[in-house]
Amino acid sequence: MLNKEYRGLAEINGPLIVVEGIEGVGFDELVEVITPNNQRRKGRVLQISEDKAIVQVFEGTSGLSINQTRVKFLNHPMELSLSRDILGRVFNGVGEPIDGGDEIFSSRKYNINGNPINPYARKYPRNYIQTGISAIDGLMTLIRGQKLPIFSGNGLPHNRLAAQIARQARLGNGDEEFAVVFVAMGIKHDDADFFIRSFEESGVLQNVVIYLNLADDPAVERIIAPRVGLTAAEYLAFELGMHILVIMTDMTNYSEALRELSSRRGEVPSRKGYPGYLYSDLASLYERAGMIKGRPGSITQLPILTMPNDDITHPVPDLTGYITEGQIVLERELDQRGIYPPINILPSLSRLMKDGIGEGYTRADHPNISSQLYASYSYVQDVKALASVIGEDELSELDQTYLEFGRQFEEKFLGQGNDENRDIEQTLDLAWEVISTIPATELDRVSEEEIERYYRK
Amino acid sequence: MAKEGRIIYINGPVVRADQMEGFLMQELVYVGEAKLIGEIIELAGDTATIQVYEETTGMTPGEPVYSTGSPLSVELGPGIIGNIFDGIQRPLAEIKERTGAFIERGVAVTPLDREKEWDIEIKVKAGDRVEPGQVVAELAETSVIRHRVMVPPGLSGEVKLVVPDGRYSVEQEIVHLVDDSGQEKVIKLYQEWPVREPRPYRERLSITKPLLTGQRVFDTFFPLAKGGTAAIPGGFGAGKTMTQHQLAKWSDADIIVYVGCGERGNEMTDVLEEFPELEDPRTGKSMMERTVLIANTSNMPVAAREASIYTGITIAEYYRDMGYSVALMADSTSRWAEALREISGRLEEMPAEEGFPAYLPTRLAEFYERAGYIKTLGQEREGSISLIGAVSPPGGDFSEPVTQNTKRFVRCFWALDKSLASARHFPAVSWLESYSEYLGELADWLQENINEEWLEHRNWAMRILKEEDRLQEIVKLVGEDVLPDNQRLILEVARLIKVGFLQQNAFSEVDRYATPEKQYWMLKIIHFLYEQALPLIRENIPISRIKDNELFSEIIKMKEKIANDELEKFKDLMTRIEEHFNAVRANYQD
Ligand SMILES: Nc1ncnc2c1ncn2[C@@H]1O[C@H](COP(=O)(O)OP(=O)(O)OP(=O)(O)O)[C@@H](O)[C@H]1O
Ligand SMILES: [Mg+2]
């Protein structure tokens, strides 16, 4: 069918345009918008009635006019060409090359919305990824095929941490291929440069695909960028059989773009002005992580989000936590005390670690010692609260040993260098070393045999 | 002539069509050339609003809408147990056969396998008079479930013809009868039932029996009844899904219906991989032999998520009608409420609280009212449905509309506490915020069948925990050392109750499931220790002497060290406690 061109718009409202007098246009269809000075932009149909379509323009509507704009409906949803050649390339948020290189060609085109993985076809993720970071490997173990976000705040070293994970993560067994898909949504140029430099320095740039939507790029493009990135990840993982780590940052910027679009459409907002479908929308991204029975690859997601006001109950971290398989929570107070990575372990969690650690995976004592660290460190918080009322000196002898444990835990176990790569043995031994500051009779999560073998050894 | 309408408007899962005269409210329709499944949710003049259960990408105004003449229904017959369906009862394994690892649109598959044959035993003969609910045939659906083929509600009459016992597929007409108006009717191995309509029963019976879950905090502290309702509210990561999985594994229900409603794909995979391997302690057979899964995960179409709850409960009612006790877990009802909100928003309805439609409480009430302990139609079997809904409050704040409205309609409230979860106290059920209104109704049964001291120990433990909570307020300000020894004893004993009894390790083979007898003994031991220690405190023997680390640690570990079938070891433990305190007294007097 010939794609008919329509001239003139009925309305322009933020990133939305209304086109009237149309015919044969489908829901969610890709649209080409031609500006008065012949720039081409992409968009998609958000709502359609008999002769009127509401279209979201990805690159924004600035420079469009009511009379001179032309619109073409392309009869298919937004699609992406994909081939192995995307590795090592840089694209914008809608998947066009911005590194001066060639266009990507492929006979098959991929719908960026993807299709849901059939739960019956999933393979339950069980293989752990050693990140070399004690807090993560020991207490919130990352599993291949997991979605584990970093909850951070402005000014906290989430980028450093994500880059360190990308650098140190051993995803495959050497003979398996591994690559990173990096999706930037509304982040600063400096932050993007930081990541690219870090990939470059560690020599993995040839195995990274980059999709960039920066702070000064159109906000509405942010809604497309992660879908483009995840479509590429699915291609690399499930067609080429690679192990893919997807870093998506910053999900808060993404959600804000969605909120803006929703309010332009006059939708009924739920919490803090975010649309009621934010949960489903985020899920349509996060659930694209995983593994599939009978296929070799995997998609592991490491989304990053900054919590407005460090508030974990804000809708973006809250709904994210409800969808992802745990979270790594960074804390300002630890950061201010110079502890890197400043991970607050108590609200942090990896839900998939239960099936990927212990005997046959990491080390037999792993589940118990990690549970013990959590329990004891949680009690340290009570002791600290009491100490702040009655003073450290007034604490019982036992409580003082807990304080000492807390200090050692934060400094020796949590704290590590930017380039320090600890293996799982080192991490678990360190765990026993710091727990040994408290009397063995206090340890109710570990077995007698484990105490015998590791305590104060 | 098949009726046909015409699409005029598309907004995600909400589609409007005109030329719809003659279509019915809540009728199931096929939408567009792709024949996507939809349901009519509003009729005005000749315009209908339809919620579509699949993605509407590419759909164009002008495309047709086809009538089916019947409401959204499920197929009820053999082949349900052990299976996994999506929110509108399409078998996911079958969908995978057709479209591979990713779910594509417009897949037309029948819920029940048409090919598979079942060995059936006919229970009626020509000339018999049959009533609704009466069993006309039986077959082994799985190694533990006898499937009873029943006369559908609303049908009665005289049997004219039956097939002989033998192997038949679900489409087989097994009984012909002439109904009371003289019309000939047939009964197949399956029947259809509209999901939004509760199936009828003879009468509701009062609640007397507990649904034993093997989880100490529930069975002992906040018991749920067979036929009862419970909500599990909790913020993300508090342990709702783990708890629901534990209940699905260890509850003493005959049938488990597990509805994954708008949650994670991997959680369903987890069940699919784990349940077939687990042995049901009651039957010795695999857990999957009594379980059916409904999976409409968060990334699957939102309208089908709304329907999944109804699909689940209708299946539950069908097995209840056979005389089974059924437990349905819905994880999470909040996602279902959000699906309602999303559809309502697209209909531009006037929202009530936080964007939710004003009919949210009604829908919740209707859902939970489908639980109950009943006497069935037909041969008056007793069946029950227990409903356990997870609730996911935004920000973990229980004052939000879904938690608050759910609380109005359930009788067990199992509140999960974020701070317990972050201290890795699991299950993170708050003993101060949770309650069970069934306690009174179940006490008789528990005292008769478990032990007559059951309630006494339970109430004692609750008092200790309440007292401990009060004392902790003081401890926070001045520390523990300044408390008198009788109060410090309460703190120590409360710790035994919390760590030794309430905490239960879902991953431990011994601890994950505790029989009511073991639960009774464990609490009795702790109570006994308290009773033994108290006189010593009165004799001014210091707590430091009384608290023997080794003994206390042994009590904390009894849940791991003493298996369900080793109850006699508890008597040894009692002796040890007695000896310890005698020794303490003797030493102190020296
Ligand atoms: N009974 C338990 N025993 C041991 N660990 C548990 C238990 N319950 C919960 N956990 C731990 O807490 C984690 C989160 O539990 P779960 O997935 O059930 O939370 P949830 O309340 O369902 O969260 P969400 O609302 O995000 O789905 C688990 O992965 C596990 O690590
Ligand atoms: Mg859950």
B398-418 pLDDT, tens digit per residue, is 999 999 999 999 999 999 999
Task: Select from A351, A374, A378 the residue to mutate for testing ligand 1; criterion: most ligand atoms less than 8 Å from CB.
Answer: A351
Whether A170 is in the pocket of ligand 1, judged by its Cβ within 6 Å, is: no
Q: What is the DSSP letter of B431?
A: T
CA of B240 to the centre of ligand 2 (A): 5
Q: Per-residue pLDDT tens for B485-543?
A: 999 999 999 999 999 999 999 988 999 999 999 999 999 999 999 999 999 999 999 99
Which pLDDT value is given to residue B232? 98
CA of A235 to the centre of ligand 2 (A): 29
To the nearest 10 degrees (0 to 180), the angle between helices B454-478 and B516-538 is 50
Cβ A280 vs Cβ B298: under 8 Å: yes
Q: Which residue has the tokens 């968009």?
A: A43
Which pLDDT value is given to residue B553? 87
User: Both tokens of residue A228?
Assistant: 């483009």
**Dihedral sign from CA coordinates of A247, A250, A254, A255:** positive
How many CA atoms within 13 Å lie on the side-chain side of B437?
13
Distance CA B391, CA B244 (A): 11
- pLDDT surpasses 60 at B91: yes
Does the distance separating the beta carbons of A280 and B298 come in below 8 Å? yes
Nearest CA to ligand 1 atom 15: B239
Nearest CB to B56 within list A27, A284, A295: A27
Q: Per-residue pLDDT tens for B195-252?
A: 999 999 999 999 999 999 999 999 999 999 999 999 999 999 999 999 999 999 999 9
Q: Is B294 on the interface with A (CB under 8 A)?
A: no
Q: What is the dihedral of CA B154, B160, B164, B170, to 10 degrees?
A: -30
Cite the beta strand spans of A336-451 per DSSP E.
349-350
How many CA atoms within 13 Å lie on the side-chain side of B142?
19
Helices (H) and strands (E) in chain B, counts: 17, 26
Q: What is the DSSP letter of B354?
A: G
Domain spanning A4-77: CATH 2.40.10.170: yes
Domains A4-77 and A80-355 agree in fold: no
Q: Per-residue pLDDT tens for A244-268?
A: 999 999 999 999 999 998 888 888 8
Four-way CATH pick for A80-355: 3.40.190.10, 3.90.550.10, 3.40.50.300, 3.40.50.12240 = 3.40.50.12240
To the nearest 10 degrees (0 to 180), the angle between helices B485-495 and B516-538 is 160
Q: State the nearest Cα–Cα gap between A276 and chain B, in angstroms.
A: 6
- pLDDT surpasses 90 at A204: no
- pLDDT surpasses 50 at A417: yes
Q: How many CB atoms lie within 10 A of CB B176?
A: 16
How many CA atoms within 13 Å lie on the side-chain side of A109?
7
Cis ω for the linkage preceding A250 (within 30 of 0): yes
Q: What is the dihedral of CA A105, A110, A112, A115, to 10 degrees?
A: -160
How many CA atoms within 13 Å lie on the side-chain side of B314?
23
Does the distance separating the beta carbons of A119 and B268 come in below 8 Å? yes
Q: Per-residue pLDDT tens for B184-203?
A: 999 999 999 999 999 999 99
3-class secondary-structure state, position B554:
helix
Whether B238 is in the pocket of ligand 1, judged by its Cβ within 6 Å, is: yes
Nearest CB to A287 within list B92, B99, B297: B297
Element (H, E) at A452: helix A448-454
Whether B394 is in the pocket of ligand 1, judged by its Cβ within 6 Å, is: no
- Average confidence (pLDDT) over B37-65: 91
Spatial CB neighbours of B316, under 8 Å, sequence gap ≥ 6: B255, B257, B326, B328, B370, B385
Cβ A362 vs Cβ A139: under 8 Å: no
Q: What is the dihedral of CA B5, B9, B14, B16, to 10 degrees?
A: -30
Q: Which residue has the tokens 């069935």?
A: B376
Nearest CA to ligand 1 atom 6: B426
Alpha helices in B165-301 (DSSP H): 216, 240-250, 265-274
Is residue A302 very low, low, confident or very high in pLDDT (cuts 50, 70, 90)? very high
Q: Which residue has the tokens 């591979």?
A: B100
Which pLDDT value is given to residue B342? 87
3-class secondary-structure state, position B216:
helix
Sort residue B231 into left (φ over 0), alpha (ψ -120 to 50) or beta: beta
Whether B236 is in the pocket of ligand 1, judged by its Cβ within 6 Å, is: yes
Amino acid residing at A326: G
Question: What percent of chain A is modeled with pLDDT above 90?
Answer: 77
Residue of B nearest to A384 (CA): B476
- pLDDT surpasses 60 at A172: no
Helices (H) and strands (E) in chain A, counts: 12, 19
Residues of A in contact with B104 (CB under 8 A): 115
Complete DSSP assignment for B440-501: HHHHHHHHHHT-TTHHHHHHHHHHHHHHHHHHHHHHHHH-STTS-HHHHHHHHHHHIIIIII
Best mutation target among A19, A305, A312, A322 (most B Cβ atoms within 10 Å) is: A322
- pLDDT surpasses 70 at A1: no
Cα dist from B187 to A137, A290, B140, B201, whole Å: 59, 44, 18, 19
Residues of B in contact with A307 (CB under 8 A): none
Q: State the nearest Cα–Cα gap between B491 and chain A, in angstroms.
A: 15
Whether A412 is in the pocket of ligand 1, judged by its Cβ within 6 Å, is: no
Cα dist from B436 to B218, B372, B410, B502, whole Å: 9, 16, 9, 16
Task: Select from B298, B388, B426, B513 the residue to mutate for testing ligand 1; criterion: most ligand atoms less than 8 Å from CB.
Answer: B426
Whether B262 is in the pocket of ligand 1, judged by its Cβ within 6 Å, is: no
**Dihedral sign from CA coordinates of A353, A359, A364, A368:** positive
Nearest CB to B394 within list A271, A292, A355: A271
How many CA atoms within 13 Å lie on the side-chain side of B509?
2
Question: What percent of chain B is modeled with pLDDT above 90?
Answer: 82
Which pLDDT value is given to residue A270? 85
Distance CA A81, CA B273 (A): 35
User: Both tokens of residue A64?
Assistant: 């469009």
Residue of A nearest to B480 (CA): A396
Closest CA to B160 of B144, B176, B180: B176
Q: Which residue has the tokens 């740039």?
A: A205
Distance CA A416, CA A419 (A): 8
Cβ B25 vs Cβ B9: under 8 Å: no
Distance CA A182, CA A230 (A): 10
Longest CA–CA span in chain B (Å) reads 102
The domain locations on chain A are 4-77, 80-355, 366-454
Please state, rounded to an integer, the average pLDDT across all residues of chain A. 92
Alpha helices in A289-396 (DSSP H): 315-323, 332-336, 366-390
Residues of A in contact with B9 (CB under 8 A): 47-50
B569 phi and psi angles, rounded to 5 deg:
-65, -25
Q: Is B499 on the interface with A (CB under 8 A)?
A: yes
Element (H, E) at B76: strand B73-76
- pLDDT surpasses 60 at A357: yes
- pLDDT surpasses 70 at A173: no
Vertex A28: Cα angle to A24 and A31 (nearest 5): 70
Distance CA B89, CA B67 (A): 20
To the nearest 10 degrees (0 to 180), the angle between helices A251-264 and A315-323 is 110
Q: Which atom of ligand 1 is nearest to the CA of B246?
A: 1
Residue of A nearest to B239 (CA): A351
Residues of B in contact with A445 (CB under 8 A): 424
Complete DSSP assignment for B301-347: -HHHHHHHHHHHHHHHHHHHHTT-EEEEEEETHHHHHHHHHHHHHHT
Q: How many CB atoms lie within 10 A of CB B473?
A: 8
Nearest CA to ligand 1 atom 9: B239
Nearest ligand, measured from the Cα of B240: 1
Which pLDDT value is given to residue B86? 93
Q: What is the DSSP letter of B503?
A: -
Whether B551 is in the pocket of ligand 1, judged by its Cβ within 6 Å, is: no
Distance CA A166, CA B389 (A): 39
Residues of B in contact with A444 (CB under 8 A): 499, 553, 556-557
Distance CA B485, CA B502 (A): 24
Does the distance separating the beta carbons of B10 and A48 come in below 8 Å? yes
Which pLDDT value is given to residue A334? 96
Cβ B76 vs Cβ B193: under 8 Å: yes
Does the distance separating the beta carbons of B104 and A290 come in below 8 Å? no
Closest CA to B395 of A345, A150, A349, A315: A315
Nearest ligand, measured from the Cα of B260: 2
Cα dist from A285 to A39, A180, B348, whole Å: 30, 16, 26
Which pLDDT value is given to residue B1? 44
Task: Select from B213, B217, B241 the residue to mutate for testing ligand 1; criterion: most ligand atoms less than 8 Å from CB.
Answer: B241
- pLDDT surpasses 90 at B347: no
Spatial CB neighbours of B462, under 8 Å, sequence gap ≥ 6: B221, B431
Q: Per-residue pLDDT tens for B296-336?
A: 999 998 889 999 999 999 999 999 999 999 999 999 999 99
B374 phi and psi angles, rounded to 5 deg:
-135, 165
Which pLDDT value is given to residue B589? 75
- Average confidence (pLDDT) over A412-422: 95
Distance CA A14, CA A264 (A): 7
- pLDDT surpasses 90 at A169: no
Vertex B139: Cα angle to B137 and B142 (nearest 5): 155
Q: Is B262 on the interface with A (CB under 8 A)?
A: yes
